[in-house]
A and B are shown apart, each in its own frame.
Chain A
Amino acid sequence: MDLGQLFAIIIGAIFVSNFVLMRFLGLCPFVGVSKDSDSALGMGMAVIFVMTMASLVTWFIYTYVLVPLDIVYLRTIAFILVIATLVQFVEMVMEKTSPTLHRSLGIYLPLITTNCAVLGVAVINVDDFMVTGLPRAASFIYTVVNGLSAGIGFTLALILMAAIRERLDLVDIPKPMRGIPITFIVAGLMAMAFMGFAGLKIG
Chain B
Amino acid sequence: MESVVVKSIIALTAMAAVFGAILAIASRIFAVDRDPRVEEIVEALPGANCGACGFPGCQGYAEAAVAAGVAPVPCPPGGAEVARKVADILGADAGEHVAKVAVVHCAGGRSNAVRRLEYDGLMDCRAAMLVSGSPKACVFGCLGYGTCRDVCPFDAVALDADGVVHIDPVRCTGCGNCVEACPVNIIELVPEDMKVHVMCSSRDKGKKAKEVCQVACIACQLCVKKCPHEAIRMEDDLAIIDYAKCTNCGICAAVCPTKAITDQVSVRPKALIGSSCVGIGECKKVCPTKAITGEAGQRHEVDREKCIGCGLCLDACPTKAVTMVGALGHSKGRE
A residues contacting B by CB (< 8 A) are: 61, 65, 69-71, 74, 77-78, 81-82, 85, 88-89, 92-93, 95-97, 170, 172
Q: Are A85 and B32 in contact (CB under 8 A)?
A: no
The CA-CA distance from A182 to B27 in the complex, in Å, is 43
The CA-CA distance from A90 to B12 in the complex, in Å, is 22
Q: Are B22 and A95 in contact (CB under 8 A)?
A: no
Q: Per a CB cutoff under 8 Å, which of B8, B16, B26, B121 touches A92? A: B26
Interface string of B195-225 (1 = CB under 8 A from A): 0000000000000000000000000000000
Q: Per a CB cutoff under 8 Å, which of B15, B29, B31, B122 touches A65? A: B15
Which residues, 8 to 35 on B, are CB-close (under 8 Å) to A?
A: 8, 11-12, 15-16, 19, 22-23, 26-27, 29-32
Q: Which residue of B lies closest to A73 (CB)?
A: B8
Task: Tell me which residues across on chain B come within 8 A of A170, comparing CB atoms.
Answer: 122, 127
CB distance from B13 to the nearest CB of A (A): 11
25 inter-chain pairs at a CB distance below 8 angstroms, sorted by A residue, are A61-B15, A65-B11, A65-B15, A69-B7, A71-B7, A71-B11, A74-B11, A74-B12, A77-B12, A78-B12, A81-B15, A81-B19, A85-B19, A85-B22, A85-B23, A88-B23, A89-B22, A89-B26, A92-B30, A93-B26, A95-B32, A96-B29, A96-B32, A170-B127, A172-B122
List the 4 closest pairs (A to B, CB-CB), nearest first: A96-B30, A85-B19, A92-B30, A92-B26
B residues contacting A by CB (< 8 A) are: 7-8, 11-12, 15-16, 19, 22-23, 26-27, 29-32, 121-122, 127
Given contacts A89-B23, A97-B30, A172-B121, 13 further A-B contacts (CB under 8 A): A70-B7, A71-B7, A74-B11, A74-B12, A78-B12, A81-B12, A81-B19, A85-B19, A89-B26, A93-B30, A96-B32, A170-B122, A170-B127
Task: Tell me which residues across on chain B come within 8 A of A96, comparing CB atoms.
Answer: 29-32
Interface of B is mostly: helix
Count of A-B residue pairs with CB < 8 Å: 45
CB distance from B182 to the nearest CB of A (A): 20
The CA-CA distance from A77 to B30 in the complex, in Å, is 27
Task: Tell me which residues across on chain A come within 8 A of B8, comparing CB atoms.
Answer: 71, 74
Task: Tell me which residues across on chain A come within 8 A of B7, comparing CB atoms.
Answer: 69-71
Q: Per a CB cutoff under 8 Å, which of A78, A92, A172 touches B27? A: A92
The CA-CA distance from A96 to B19 in the complex, in Å, is 19
Q: Are A81 and B16 in contact (CB under 8 A)?
A: yes
Task: Tell me which residues across on chain A come within 8 A of B27, comparing CB atoms.
Answer: 92
The CA-CA distance from A170 to B123 in the complex, in Å, is 10
Task: Tell me which residues across on chain A come within 8 A of B11, comparing CB atoms.
Answer: 65, 69, 71, 74
The CA-CA distance from A69 to B12 in the complex, in Å, is 11
Task: Tell me which residues across on chain A come within 8 A of B30, comparing CB atoms.
Answer: 92-93, 95-97
The CA-CA distance from A89 to B20 in the complex, in Å, is 10
Q: Which residue of B lies closest to A99 (CB)?
A: B32
The CA-CA distance from A96 to B29 in the complex, in Å, is 9
Q: Per a CB cutoff under 8 Å, which of A69, A82, A97 touches B19? A: A82
Task: Tell me which residues across on chain A come within 8 A of B32, comparing CB atoms.
Answer: 95-96
Task: Tell me which residues across on chain A come within 8 A of B12, comparing CB atoms.
Answer: 74, 77-78, 81
CB distance from A42 to the nearest CB of B (A): 14
CB distance from B122 to the nearest CB of A (A): 6
Q: Which residue of A lies closest to B124 (CB)?
A: A170
The CA-CA distance from A69 to B15 in the complex, in Å, is 12
CB distance from B28 to the nearest CB of A (A): 10
Task: Tell me which residues across on chain A come within 8 A of B127, comparing CB atoms.
Answer: 170
Task: Tell me which residues across on chain A come within 8 A of B19, comparing CB atoms.
Answer: 81-82, 85
Task: Tell me which residues across on chain A come within 8 A of B15, comparing CB atoms.
Answer: 61, 65, 78, 81-82
The CA-CA distance from A70 to B7 in the complex, in Å, is 9
